[in-house]
Structure 1
Amino acid sequence: MAGLQEDPLGDLRVLFSGWLQDEAVLATQKGSKAAFQYHKAMDSVRSHASEIKDLKSLRNIKYVGDRTIKQLLEKLRNHCVEKGLEFPKAFESKRKANAEDVDENTNGKDGVSTASMPPTKKRKKRAYIPARRSGGYSILLALYTKDSERNGLTQEEIIKHATPYCDRSFKANPAANQFYSAWNSVKQLEKHDLLKCNGRPKRYYLTDEGLALAGQLKVAEGIESPSIEDSHSVDITLDNSLMVSSPIQQNRQPSEFVAPPLEHLHDPSNKTYSGVKYELWGATDYDIVLVIDTREVRSQTERDFFQKRLEALGVTCEVEALSVGDGVWLARHKQTGRQVVLNYIFERKRIDDLAFSIRDGRFQEQKVRLKMAAMKHVYYIVEEASGIDQMAVPGESIQTAISMTMTASQFYLRKFKTIEETISFLASVTEVIKEQHESRHKLLVLKPTTLKNQADYEPIIKLFRDKFESGQLPKYECVYPFETFKVMMAKSMTTVGETFMSMLMCIRGVSLDKAITIQKHFGTPLRLLDYFEDHKHLDIKEKKLLLTNLFKDQVGNKKIGPVVSERIYEMWGYKI
């Protein structure tokens, strides 16, 4: 490999791993499951023992497939062009298709002119029809029966109406190596032009071809519920002149008007929807403020480090105790001074703190609480602090936790080397938020009076988002008052069941799924203690396996292994 110019390009592992990290970030922003694969490929390239000197060595790296190689080589070519370098010959593919070496009008292997050979008969493409009770099947039926206006449904709405017609779950479970769900069938429906989507949030609707196929599936399923054709003609217009009647128009029955539920009525004059009052803030009525949690400090001697550095970058920053997250962005009314929490929140972890939070269970609990905050944009920041020799958990566990945060939790994860990079990122996010809100956003501030606990928090704001934030360019952003956010998200508002699960997850090896399984069965910590008390006559070996035997019929991560069962017994039943 003496001819390979390595000095100008340097160690290709650095370039390749950096490009893979960029792809992982992009995939995370799009909510793509490919983020998990890019992350594994990035780790493999970064930890590769020797330099990557040719195409063969690149192919031998774990998790780096043909598609990834094609992307990396394309980026390498662009990089060489930008830097004025010669593309390494060792990465040129030596394979050439035989068809390129033989002219289409010359003789083939048998001396027969290919021009005189009869054309190959093309195989007729088979129409795509999804299998019964599959993801695609149920999605078509949901849109056909529930989208009477053909204005489209959101992903959540489709899943709600499609679940009864599907045998598979619409939620992936990466922890059990189930990375694909019934929802992935949307890609096949789009590929075969049965489904289209647009807007933000995305709204899906049937094409004319999908409408006709869904009508046939409805007849086959024997569904008698109102559908699209009950309120609108399903005639398909061809060339603006020919009207072709669809078979599903036969036996049409007049639809009956059904009044909307009283609790979902909208009264614009009194600014009330579904019994909840609201008020509107104009785009120029408020300022954007970043609030940092009081516990977010650099060190004991630099407790105001974040505030000073952000203010030096022109960011209005304040410090206040937060119920969840390490920082949120607020809108403060210029006249009244009232504050509302915008749909942006971040959680910051130094790599050693992340390791300890995984070990003591805080990692899972904090992610659950971030989900309960019902924010649209959750930033999970990890700082790779230097000088840390001892880790609380193996490196593989940390990488798995990071990957799960990106894929299963669908948080926007960013990794930085220093605290200064984190501050620069927060400043840039603040500028983006300001630009977005100054250009078009009006705030619809909810003023609920019936919120009892965290369980009531998310459904109400989701109801308002479905009503006021639908469409390609939403006019409003639905938000809660800051005080409501702090009170509802306070840890003191957690139920006995949530506290029980948090206690269980403090035991090493007890994941969120296992904690939920145990809590659902026993309900409260007292009943778990009573369970061990009722079996105190057993010998010590049998006591340690009580939970293993109790939950032996559970599947996946819900099973309680012998080691975890023993740890729970040592914590909860050892003295009984």
Structure 2
Amino acid sequence: MPSEPVRLGRKRALPPCPNPLFLQWLTELRDQAAEKGLKTQYVYQKALSSLKKYPLPLRNGKEAKILQNFGDGICKILDDRLEKYYKENGPDAPIHSLPSEVKASGQCSSNQDPSKAFLNTQEPSATSGGPHKRTKKVDAGKAKGGRKKRGYVPQKRSGGYAVLLTLYRHTQVPGNKGFMFKNELQTEAQPLCDKSFTVPDLGSKYTAWSSVSTLIQRDLVLKTHNPARYALTELGLAVAEQLESGDREERSEQDVEDTGEAGEPVACPDTVDLTQGDDDDGGHDDEDEREGRLAKRAPPAACLDDEVDLTEECLAVEQGEAAANGILLPGCYDIILCIDFIETTGGNTVKKQDLVKELQKNGVTFDIRKLNVGDFLWVARERVAPDQEQLRPPPVKELVLDYIVERKRMDDLCGSIIDGRFREQKFRLKRCGLFKPIYLVEEHGSAAAHLSLPESTLQQAIANTQVVDGFFVKRVQDVMESAAYLTIMTRYLQKLYQNRTLYCRSRELEGDGPRDASISCSLMSFAEFNHGAVKNKCQTVREVFARQLMQISGLSGDKAAAILNRYNTVNSLVQAYDRCSSETEKEKLLSSIKYGKLKRNLGPALSRTVYQLYCSKGPLS
């Protein structure tokens, strides 16, 4: 059979979708739902995906029911919009092509004026109707959407609005990082948003932070790294500048309205000028002025019999504003000892209950809860009075002090050394974000003589914990002495923090390095601390690589960190081995890496062990 002749030339570009009008309407519905934080945004997104794949034109919304993810509700919405479209543009208005080659997103494909593009496609002639016909087509083109559609701009006081403005204002600060972390961004953006960034509304699981995904999809915000860093793209910077200029105009208009036409402050009824009288000659208010201002702030006649302490009212307002900003003022919080529930249940429950009973006898206020790292720690808990009108008590802010205790009996210490938990626990305590780790060792007399490891080995491990790892080690004899030590520590911290103002910080901004100050008033919230200390949480490639290295005998956390600073992943290490010219060079690749405070070399023996682990094809000898 003769072969079919080969056709040469360019293939004609197919339109992206034969139903651009339906595509545009569904896109608008999805964006509106995403802006409000509604779950229907995902329904519209699935319908959009199905519509983009369908190659045939649709005459109405009812025909779209054959497509996947199109139900009666979406079809009815499309039919209603189509009916309104026909009423505005006439029964013969096109629905399978948009005027001036407008895409589904509502933006023109070229830079030319949309109305001109529409005229070029129609090509009216003088013989078919003259100038009157041409004018009519121009008007029709404008009515049918020839004008360029406005780009995506979030609603005022919405989550997207607050995030864009906050990121933009952050870029205007000299010496800024160029990005913001999640907690930092939520804290600074909250005053610009009506909804909460952390607590969803009643009956919904979405917060104002849900709109960030829309900003990322719209290429307005860029998300990178882990922990996540958020920054503005070029398009996002342009939109944020537009929002900022609009916000400035509104503020200036509001200032004009407040000052009046003549530039004088407008007199408002029942307004107290607290600054009045500060610049008087005598430096004191007149008795009449003072009485007049207090009369304006006086309670109603029904409350005249009660005494009103304005100082207490102002203090309550100040405390409320400080707590809302993550600040705990002196006298507004209590120091509470937190005990891991494992220390009170399981195993020898009788002995574990002795600790609790002893703390109760000593009058220590404590709370038993699940701690993902450590056995004991202390939190500064906000004092909140119960609201009689609410069934549940209001949420309480808790900030974690920098002291954390890991309790070890000699038998537990022996078992943790054998199964490898000892090094892992010390590593996690160093990375938990608290900078005063304490090892509480219960020796129990001569109990160590009957364990699997020699007592000298256990004593050496305890000494290494103090000297090498930098932990404070407290030795006690039994549970009673442990309870006494926790009691003394609780009273010491209560006295230490009694006149201090505490600030809530983010773990992402502080890092994991030690601090120089003996006492810090910038503390993590308990929720963030406990979430960051989860043992089996999702790990990055870098974290998995670090865990692998620490399984090698003789390779401590400091040595693993030094290797990670040079090679972040296994792949980067293997590539470095491939670039070596000889076997000897590969074995000595890591030997000159410095680690620890003394900056010692890893050495050739450890370097050879790591090389054999990752480059040996057969079993290790």
Assess same fold via TM > 0.5.
no
| TM-score normalised over the length of structure 2 | 0.38
| TM-score normalised over the length of structure 1 | 0.41
Q: Which one scores higher on RCO, CA 8 angstroms, separation ≥ 6?
A: 1
